[in-house]
Amino acid sequence: MTEQYLSGNFGGDMMAEDLFGLYQDLSQRKIWLAFKGAISQDILVELGTLLKSKSVLDRKVKRLFAIFVEMAQNILHYSAETETVPFSGNGTAQPVGVGVIVVSESADDYLVSAGNVVTDKQMTYLREQCERIHRADPGQLKQYYEDQRKAGRSMSDSKGAGLGLLDIARKADFPLEYEMRPIPDGRAFFVLTARIAKFNKQFT
């Protein structure tokens, strides 16, 4: 009876060989975790717990965790692609943002990359925010962060992707990398990458 499962027609499904390729790829790139799908709060918490357990929770890994949470919550709240996840969060079915998030390491850095579909309007907003962040020095970033936090503290919607971006930029050791890739339906795929140096730079 089991044979029909083993030798069945996989059609467009991922074949064993592809899966081995994916496995090798994930191993070689030192991927700590990779997730594609609806990032509900429950998923976020589980992935975050996994991330914390991957390494001694030192200052660097704690920042990595913080960046992961901000990126994942931005997908959850703002992705233009959503799925309705039953019994998420407060117990009722609700739309949850879909995206992809990858945490990995290179020889010198820890990396968090997140990608999701954004609307035209979001694209303009994100581009402005990212450019403003790019031009800012650490002192200005701190000022932007404090201004935005103050501005948003009494709003009924306490989310605010802007504050998350500023926080990510302040926690990262290098300028944020971002990319907007147009997709056929007129929207875009937004990718954001933050890097944290594994070792403290000593002579800079």
- Compute φ and ψ for 56, nearest 5 degrees: -60, 135
The answer to whether the CB of 34 falls within 8 A of the CB of 100 is yes
For other proteins, the closer CB: 31 or 73: 73
Q: Is there binding between residue 70 and other proteins (CB under 8 A)?
A: yes
CB of 70 to other proteins, least distance (A): 6
Among 30, 36, 62, 134, binds other proteins (CB under 8 A): 62
Contacts of 26 (CB under 8 A, 6+ apart): 34
| Residues 21-60 close enough to bind other proteins by CB under 8 A | 41, 45, 49, 58-59
Tokens representing 153 are 């503290």
CB of 172 to other proteins, least distance (A): 13
| Residues 132-151 close enough to bind other proteins by CB under 8 A | 142, 146, 149-150
Separation CA 76–CA 97 (nearest Å): 4
Separation CA 180–CA 50 (nearest Å): 29
The answer to whether the CB of 101 falls within 8 A of the CB of 48 is no
Q: Is 81 exposed, middle or buried (0-12, 13-18, 19+ CB in 10 A)?
A: middle
For other proteins, the closer CB: 19 or 45: 45
Q: How many residues bind other proteins (CB under 8 A)?
A: 31
For other proteins, the closer CB: 41 or 104: 41
Complete DSSP assignment for 55-107: S---HHHHHHHHHHHHHHHHHHHH-SSEEEEEEETTTEEEEEEEEEEEEEE-S
| Residues 162-191 close enough to bind other proteins by CB under 8 A | 163-164, 166-167
Q: What does the per-residue mask of binding to other proteins show for 96-125, with x meaning CB under 8 A? A: ------------------------------
Residue ranges in contact with other proteins by CB under 8 A: 41, 45, 49, 58-59, 62-63, 65-66, 69-70, 73, 76, 89-90, 142, 146, 149-150, 152-154, 156-160, 163-164, 166-167
